Amino acid sequence: MTDQYFYPNIWGRSILTSAEEILGARGINALLNLVGLSDYIGNFPPDDIQKAFPFSHVAKLQQGLYDMYGSKGARVFAIRGGEETFQHSLNKYDKVQKAAQAAMSIGSTETRVKLGLNFFSKFFNAVSDQVVRIDEDDKNWYWIIEHCPMCWERKADEPVCHLGVGVLNAASQWATGGKKFRIQETSCTAMGDEDCIYTISKQFVD
């Protein structure tokens, strides 16, 4: 099967690097062997922004975490991976970081989160083949992913796109100077839903 959608190399690299930090060298090698991606052993993708890391590889790594560590373990590791991927990306896309900071320098927490979500959705849509749109109601914002890389061609009976929770955790904390939000994946393509949807409560935790 040929791949048609890609993440930038740097995101693939960040996912692997953060997994290696958590699992150790032996753990990451075991994971890569398990999911049939042993070509990456000692050979992570380059630290560049070329769109060349297939969605199917993102999904296989997430599935592998699930197979090795179960639902809870996979969740913990993937959320941490998402946080690190976000941080690493900010450092790499330095101009984006400055533009985002300028866009969010004014207004209430709610305004800043809204500006941040819009900004990052456009950014993600520009640098990867993931398509994100934003919606909101009185209580929540919704981060909606069409053709999601994390559950690409996966089937599950619970939401599995935990990496995205980590990315959104890190993004919302960064946008608001450290405030914590309740973020949950509430619809998931792997469960048969049309899109993967993250619900972000407008009530921040502290």
Q: Segment 94-123, which members bind Zn ion (CB under 5 A)?
A: none
Q: Segment 141-180, which members bind Zn ion (CB under 5 A)?
A: 148, 150-151, 161
Angstrom distances, CA of residue 14 to CA of 57, 58, 81, 139, 195: 13, 11, 8, 32, 24
Q: Which one, 176 or 198, has the nearer CB to Zn ion?
A: 198
Q: Segment 29-48, which members bind Zn ion (CB under 5 A)?
A: none
State the Cα–Cα distance between residues 162 and 188, nearest whole angstrom. Answer: 11
Q: Which one, 20 or 195, has the nearer CB to Zn ion?
A: 195
Binding mask 54-73 for Zn ion (x = CB under 5 A): --------------------
Q: Which one, 61 or 196, has the nearer CB to Zn ion?
A: 196
> Which one of the spans 43-51, 73-81, 91-99, 186-194 is the region binding Zn ion (CB under 5 A)?
186-194
H/E segment holding residue 191 = none
Tokens matching residue 126:
């520009």
State the Cα–Cα distance between residues 35 and 65, nearest whole angstrom. Answer: 9
Q: How far is the CB of 62 from Zn ion (least distance, A)?
A: 9
Q: How far is the CB of 144 from Zn ion (least distance, A)?
A: 11
> Which one of the spans 7-15, 53-61, 133-141, 187-195 is the region binding Zn ion (CB under 5 A)?
187-195
Q: Which one, 104 or 171, has the nearer CB to Zn ion?
A: 171
> Contacts with Zn ion: how many residues (CB under 5 A)?
6
State the Cα–Cα distance between residues 152 and 30, nearest whole angstrom. Answer: 21
> Which one of the spans 13-21, 72-80, 98-106, 183-191 is the region binding Zn ion (CB under 5 A)?
183-191
State the Cα–Cα distance between residues 33 and 51, nearest whole angstrom. Answer: 24
Give helix then strand counts, H and E, for the chain: 5, 6
Residue 91, C-beta contacts closer than 8 angstroms, at least 6 positions apart: 97
The half-sphere exposure of 101 on its side-chain side, counting CA atoms within 13 A, is 10
Torsion of CA 70, 53, 98, 174, to 10 degrees: 0
Among the listed residues 28, 175, 196, 197, the single contact to Zn ion using CB under 5 A? 196
Q: What does the binding site for Zn ion look like in residue numbers (CB under 5 A)?
A: 148, 150-151, 161, 189, 196
